[in-house]
Amino acid sequence: MTAATSSASSGRTSLDIPGAVSATAGIGLLIYGLTRGQQDGFTSPAALAILTVAAVLLLAFVLIQRRSTGPLIPPRILSHAAVTGANLAILTLTAVMGAQGFFMMLYMQGILGYSSIETGLAVFPSSLMAIVGSTLATRLAAHVQPRAIAVGGLAAVGVAEILLAQITPASSYVVGILPGYLIFGIGLGAAFVGSSIVATSGIAADDQGVVSGLLNTAQQVGIAVGVAALVTAAVAHTANLPTPDTAAALVSGYRLGLLISAAVAGVGALAILILSRRHVLSVVHPQHSQGGREQPNDLN
């Protein structure tokens, strides 16, 4: 009897310590490398070395998962199109959320002169609409395909970013910020709910924890990588302007970052639209499946 068989027969699952170490170190170094690249330039020896090591560790993680008897992320899960699409959607969504928060905080406090309390109050309507969006999406999920909800939410997020990208050094809150914030909040709530349903629908009970963990990881990585990458683009744009220290130049950088965020949201919408399978609906609502019978989608 092999070690793996013995472990399985005793009801125990081995810990994938090499996988956990390589994934954690790889993601951490990737984020650190993007930050160093922003500060020192991506052609600097330090940034290149860090990003190279991160790439090696992440590649090692993939190889470890393929060969491990108890992988941290079973390959069958990553080969499931709906799970992959939902994670890409969450990754892009949180990247947009993190970058937008960074740009708008700098804009409201540094350009418009808002205090911390005023900034918090300015953001509150967006948070409130996120609750409304998630509530509506939960109710719609009983009648509409989850991936349609996710795509619609991401599309709304993209529209919101385009609206926010119209800011100027003299924009008013009611005209220049509030409409984008309201649309963003609704889209954010809907996209999170729709993507989560797509990722977990029809997944075997033993894999639910892994899929949920992947979604949480995608959120954290999306925020960190999104802020690092989009801020780098905005800073580079501002630095290349004739007068980089003026309010107009800073706002120009924020606007570029917000426009890129809109494109990122579009990528997320396409990812979940293309990769999520149509039979997700039949798993959530068996009455819509052929012949009125449920068609499970377990990952066996």
Three-state SS letters, 96-116: HHHHHHHHHHHHHHHHCCCCH
On whether the CB atoms of residues 189 and 137 are closer than 8 A, the answer is: yes
pLDDT, mean of residues 235-262: 94
| DSSP string for 117-164 | HHHHHHHHHHHHHHHHHHHHHHHHTTTS-HHHHHHHHHHHHHHHHHHH
Q: How many CB atoms lie within 10 A of CB 66?
A: 9
Percent of the chain at pLDDT > 70 equals 86
Phi-psi category of 292—alpha, beta or left, where left has phi over 0 and alpha has psi -120 to 50?
Answer: left
Cα–Cα dist 149/184, whole Å: 14
Asked if pLDDT for residue 261 goes beyond 50, the answer is yes
pLDDT tier at 290, thresholds 50, 70, 90 = very low
What's residue 140's pLDDT? 93
What's residue 5's pLDDT? 43
**What's the pLDDT tens digit per position in 54-94?**
999 999 988 888 887 777 777 777 767 888 889 999 999 99
pLDDT tier at 297, thresholds 50, 70, 90 = very low
Q: Report the C-alpha dihedral over residues 98, 103, 108, 109, rounded to 10 degrees.
A: 90
What's residue 250's pLDDT? 96
Superfamily (CATH) of domain 74-288 = MFS general substrate transporter like domains (1.20.1250.20)
What's residue 7's pLDDT? 43
What's residue 295's pLDDT? 41
